[in-house]
């Protein structure tokens, strides 16, 4: 399956944040065991590139992407270290250009109609809605979707098991991203079973919200 097919079936993208490649690998394996096989390794630690490369090499069942990509040079480095998609907190033309040059999906962050319109005119059909919870949540998403009828959205930031179904009920939402699936305390304790359980719970919520048959 490619990323779009995986997200159609399991519309949740967990964030993996680690400063140790071994932990990134174990976290990604735990998520995959729960059914989430698209993971965003975020560039928020000194060894994020190593973590991305380790997940790309050692967890073949997972499509690993790079998150919190802020510049074209970071996007290039991410692709050189195994990223199969790029996610940014904001909309940067250079990041988009690098991803498109290499033929990989890119999901830049947007918050306003002007940013969505700019993304549309760059030829993009999917954007990250960030930070979703303080950017207006579901009502804002519905308003944006009514104007930008061909655009898909990936709300991230404040998404949780409690509101996942509400976001996924919006037809324009491709998938939701979030860090609630990889709690720092569980990772610190080595409790990867908890991460697998959270992933499985998210899959169940998502499929019920989308009317997807679990069987």
- Which sequence spans correspond to the domains of the chain? 3-202
Q: What is the mean predicted confidence (pLDDT) over 91-100?
A: 98
Q: Please pick, among 128, 142, 152, 194, the residue that the annotation labels catalytic.
A: 128
Minimum mean pLDDT range among 44-48, 181-185, 210-214: 210-214
Q: What is the mean predicted confidence (pLDDT) over 25-54?
A: 98
Is 152 in the active site? no
What does pTM read for this prediction?
0.95
Residue 90: CB atoms within 10 Å:
14
Strands (DSSP E) contained in 34-146 are: 38-42, 63-67, 86-87, 106-107, 109-110, 126-129
Beta carbons of 132 and 155 less than 8 angstroms apart = yes
> Does the pLDDT of residue 116 top 60, yes or no?
yes
**pLDDT confidence tier of residue 100, bands split at 50, 70 and 90:** very high
Q: What is the mean predicted confidence (pLDDT) over 183-192?
A: 97
Tell me how far apart the alpha carbons of residues 159 and 101 are, in angstroms, rounded to a whole number.
31
DSSP state of 213: -
Is 128 in the active site? yes
Do β-strands 63-67 and 38-42 pair in parallel, antiparallel, or remain unpaired? parallel
Q: Please state the φ and ψ torsions of residue 110, each to the nearest 5 degrees.
A: -135, 155
Q: What is the mean predicted confidence (pLDDT) over 177-204?
A: 97
DSSP state of 178: E
Q: What is the mean predicted confidence (pLDDT) over 192-207?
A: 97
> Does the pLDDT of residue 194 top 60, yes or no?
yes
**pLDDT confidence tier of residue 214, bands split at 50, 70 and 90:** low
Q: What is the mean predicted confidence (pLDDT) over 27-53?
A: 98
Percent of the chain with pLDDT over 90: 94
Query: Selecting from 3.90.1010.10, 3.40.50.2300, 3.40.190.10, 3.20.20.70, what CATH number does the domain 3-202 have?
Result: 3.20.20.70
Q: What is the mean predicted confidence (pLDDT) over 73-77?
A: 98
Q: What is the mean predicted confidence (pLDDT) over 23-29?
A: 98
Q: Please pick, among 5, 26, 37, 40, the residue that the annotation labels catalytic.
A: 40
Tell me how far apart the alpha carbons of residues 109 and 131 are, in angstroms, rounded to a whole number.
8
């Amino acid at each position: 399956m490619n990323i779009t097919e995986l997200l159609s079936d399991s519309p949740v993208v967990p964030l993996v944040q680690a400063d140790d490649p071994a932990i990134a690998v174990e976290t990604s394996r735990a998520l995959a065991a729960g059914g989430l096989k698209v993971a965003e390794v975020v560039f928020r630690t000194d060894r994020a590139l190593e973590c991305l490369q380790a997940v790309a090499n050692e967890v073949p069942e997972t499509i690993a992407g790079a998150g919190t990509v802020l510049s074209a040079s970071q996007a290039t480095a991410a692709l050189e270290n195994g990223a199969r998609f790029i996610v940014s907190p904001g909309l940067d033309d250079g990041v988009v250009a690098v991803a498109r040059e290499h033929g990989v999906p890119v999901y830049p962050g947007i918050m306003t109609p002007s940013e969505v319109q700019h993304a549309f005119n760059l030829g993009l059909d999917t954007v990250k809605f960030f930070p979703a919870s303080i950017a207006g949540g579901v009502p804002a998403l519905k308003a944006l979707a009514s104007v930008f009828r061909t655009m898909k959205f990936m709300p991230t930031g404040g998404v949780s098991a409690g509101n996942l179904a509400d976001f996924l009920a919006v037809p324009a939402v491709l998938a939701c991203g979030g860090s609630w699936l990889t709690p720092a305390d569980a990772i610190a304790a080595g409790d990867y079973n908890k991460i697998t359980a959270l992933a499985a719970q998210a899959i169940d919520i998502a499929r019920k919200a989308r009317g997807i048959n679990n069987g």
